[in-house]
Amino acid sequence: MHTDKFISESLELHLFFGRIMKEHSFFLKAGFTPVNTRFSARSEFFKNEFEKLLSNAVTLSNGMICEKVLNSGEIVTEFTAAAERQTEKFTGIRIDRSITDRQLRMNSCNCRNKMDLTRQIRNLNRRSIRLLDGLIALKEDILNNVLNCRMFTMNYPLLIEHILREAKLYRKYVQILESEGTIGVQSMKEVECFWNQIMMEHALFIRGLLDPSETELIHSADMFAGTYASLLKNCRNAEDKTMPANVTAETRKFRDFKAVGTKGIEDCKIRSLILPLLADHVLREANHYLRILESC
Would you give per-residue pLDDT tens digits along the chain (296 residues)?
Answer: 568 889 999 999 999 999 999 999 999 999 999 999 999 999 999 999 999 999 999 999 988 888 999 999 999 999 999 999 999 999 999 999 999 999 999 877 665 555 678 999 999 999 999 999 999 999 999 999 999 999 999 999 999 999 999 999 999 999 999 999 999 767 888 999 999 999 999 999 999 999 999 999 999 999 999 999 999 999 998 876 556 678 999 999 999 999 999 999 999 999 999 999 999 999 999 999 999 999 86
Contact status, residue 166 vs residue 198, Cβ threshold 8 Å: yes
Range of the domain at 271: 187-296
50 within a domain of the structure (yes/no): yes
The predicted structure's pLDDT at residue 23: 98
2 within a domain of the structure (yes/no): yes
Tell me the C-alpha distance between 31 and 11, whole Å. Answer: 30
Residue 37's identity, in one-letter code, is T
Task: Say yes or no: 258 and 133 in one domain.
Answer: no
Task: Say yes or no: 207 and 274 in one domain.
Answer: yes
230 within a domain of the structure (yes/no): yes
Tell me the C-alpha distance between 210 and 217, whole Å. Answer: 8
Phi, psi of 32 (to 5 degrees): -80, 155
The predicted structure's pLDDT at residue 100: 97
The predicted structure's pLDDT at residue 187: 82
Task: Say yes or no: 110 and 192 in one domain.
Answer: no
- Domain boundary (153, 184, 215) is at 184
- Domain boundary (123, 152, 184) is at 184
208 within a domain of the structure (yes/no): yes
Question: Closest Cα to residue 53, out of 93, 16, 9, 82?
Answer: 16
Task: Say yes or no: 281 and 180 in one domain.
Answer: no
61 within a domain of the structure (yes/no): yes
Phi, psi of 76 (to 5 degrees): -145, 160
The predicted structure's pLDDT at residue 185: 65
Task: Say yes or no: 4 and 60 in one domain.
Answer: yes
Distance between first and last Cα of the chain: 22
Quick one: how far is CA 20 from the chain centroid?
A: 4
Question: Closest Cα to residue 281, out of 256, 258, 250, 248?
Answer: 258
- Domain boundary (184, 212, 241) is at 184
95 within a domain of the structure (yes/no): no
Task: Say yes or no: 226 and 175 in one domain.
Answer: no
The predicted structure's pLDDT at residue 246: 87
Tell me the C-alpha distance between 238 and 44, whole Å. Answer: 41
94 within a domain of the structure (yes/no): no
Tell me the C-alpha distance between 125 and 17, whole Å. Answer: 12
Task: Say yes or no: 203 and 162 in one domain.
Answer: no
Mind spelling out the 3-state secondary structure of the chain?
CCHHHHHHHHHHHHHHHHHHHHHHHHHHHHHECCCCHHHHHHHHHHHHHHHHHHHHHHHHHCCCECHHHHCCCCCCCCCHHHHHHHHHHHHCCCCCCHHHHHHHCCCECCCCCHHHHHHHHHHHHHHHHHHHHHHHHHHHHHHHHHHCCCCCECCCHHHHHHHHHHHHHHHHHHHHHHHHCCHHHCCHHHHHHHHHHHHHHHHHHHHHHECCCCHHHHHHHHHHHHHHHHHHHHHHHCCCCCCCHHHHHHHHHHHHHHHHHHHHHHCCCCCECCCHHHHHHHHHHHHHHHHHHHHC
Task: Say yes or no: 112 and 156 in one domain.
Answer: yes
Contact status, residue 75 vs residue 69, Cβ threshold 8 Å: yes
What CATH code is carried by the domain that includes residue 169?
1.20.1260.120
Q: Domain total for the chain?
A: 2
Tell me the C-alpha distance between 236 and 87, whole Å. Answer: 37
Task: Say yes or no: 171 and 242 in one domain.
Answer: no
Task: Say yes or no: 227 and 296 in one domain.
Answer: yes
75 within a domain of the structure (yes/no): no
The predicted structure's pLDDT at residue 239: 73
Tell me the C-alpha distance between 38 and 253, whole Å. Answer: 41
Task: Say yes or no: 178 and 264 in one domain.
Answer: no
Task: Say yes or no: 15 and 122 in one domain.
Answer: yes
